[in-house]
């Protein structure tokens, strides 16, 4: 019984989800500093463990293999507590990842509009789902994922906001949640 309770206890993480270019890493760093938490970027964690880039993992082993590494990385966060975790934009695609995220803590959706997203993702050549792809396909993915992101506990609009403003908004929302609880 006790074991069960421990394994299902929330790790009190703040988990940031959102499409590529929403600013999860930048906001995550600021939010971690602001709340005295450790910052973990799951893509970075995967790259360190695999000793290669996400781009290379996609190219050599394919997307499904990457998704498995991504789920494992998320699962590994159950061993830690009190972090801000920036996820990759596609983590919301596997239902099982939602079970894990809900166990890990509070899921926060950084919501941005397509125009802003597209102006940001063009700058980075390392996104395998964008580089060399037809923009219409990326837009379809963006639309397809909206309802998935919307399953998050909190939703924060990031358009025209500085990362520090977004981080502060999240802190305020969380304190509102605590007061309500
Ligand atoms: C992906 C987003 C990327 C990275 C991988 C796949 C996606 O992370 O995980 O390229 O499916 O949206 P960012 O959202 O940090 O760019």
pLDDT digits (tens, 9 = 90+) for 42-57: 999 999 999 999 999 9
Which band of pLDDT confidence, cut at 50, 70 and 90, is reported for residue 6?
Answer: very low
Ligand 1 atom at shortest distance from the alpha carbon of 145: 12
Question: 10 Å Cβ neighbour count for 155?
Answer: 16
| pTM: predicted TM-score of the whole model, two decimal places | 0.91
**126: CB partners within 8 A, 6+ apart:** 53, 54, 55
Q: Give the side-chain half-sphere CA count within 13 A for 20.
A: 20
The pLDDT assigned to 136 comes to: 87
Q: Which residues of 8-24 are buried (b: 16+ CB within 10 A; e: fewer)?
A: eeebebbbbbbbbbbbb
Which pair of tokens denotes residue 60? 């050599």
Ligand 1 atom at shortest distance from the alpha carbon of 46: 9
Residues pairing with 12 in the sheet? none
């Amino acid at each position: 019984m006790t074991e069960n309770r421990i394994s299902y206890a929330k790790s009190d993480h703040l988990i940031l989800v959102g499409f590529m270019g929403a600013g999860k890493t930048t906001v995550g760093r600021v939010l971690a500093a602001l709340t005295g938490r450790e910052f973990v970027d799951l893509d970075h964690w995967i790259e360190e463990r695999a000793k290669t880039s996400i781009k290379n993992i996609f190219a050599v082993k394919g997307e499904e293999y990457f998704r498995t590494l991504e789920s494992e990385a998320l699962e590994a966060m159950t061993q830690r507590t009190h972090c801000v975790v920036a996820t990759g934009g596609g983590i919301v695609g596997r239902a099982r990842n939602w079970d894990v995220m809900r166990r890990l803590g509070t899921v926060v959706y950084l919501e941005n509009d397509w125009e802003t997203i597209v102006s940001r993702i063009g700058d980075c050549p390392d996104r395998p789902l964008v580089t060399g792809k037809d923009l219409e396909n990326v837009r379809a993915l963006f639309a397809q994922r909206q309802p998935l992101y919307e399953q998050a506990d909190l939703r924060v609009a990031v358009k025209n906001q500085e990362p520090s403003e977004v981080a502060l908004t999240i802190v305020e929302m969380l304190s509102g949640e605590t007061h309500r609880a």
